Amino acid sequence: MKRILVVDDEPSIVMIMEEFLSEEGYEVHTAMDGDKALAMVDSEIPFDLALVDLRIPGVSGKEIIHKIRQTPRLEGMPIIVITGFEKNSEDFPPENSYQSLFTKPFMLEDILEEIQRLSN
């Protein structure tokens, strides 16, 4: 079973993503702020993919992505950015640090299709 880390501060998005992806057979771990997300990245959980919102309380999504890329066991893990930010924002991570970008609002089916593509 593939493990997905979902990082977003909007409870409705976290709940919907967790339920939807669990029904699709994924093990979903969630963090609603940057500090919890960093703790999960530092844990020994072997995540297969991360969905990361950029604007979250505490440590930013950009910093979380940077931390993932600096963590040897996760450095090659696919990352999907989900955000309402404009792509040219200074809060945006470098393009080579993530594989896909979805702006809010997004379709769950599109996210699932991208997860499946990146997981193969």
Give the CATH number of domain 3-119; options: 3.40.50.2300, 3.30.420.40, 3.40.1190.20, 3.30.565.10: 3.40.50.2300
DSSP readout, 12-77? HHHHHHHHHHHHTT-EEEEESSHHHHHHHHHSS---SEEEEESS-SSS-HHHHHHHHHHSTTTTT-
- Residue at token pair 């599109």: 110
Average of pLDDT values for 93-99? Answer: 92
Tokens of 49: 């993919």
Per-residue pLDDT at 90: 77
Per-residue pLDDT at 91: 76
Element (H, E) at 112: helix 108-119
Average of pLDDT values for 61-68? Answer: 95
Q: What is the largest CA-CA distance in the chain?
A: 36
pTM, rounded to two decimals: 0.94
> What are the φ and ψ backbone dihedral angles of 102, each rounded to 5 degrees?
-125, 130
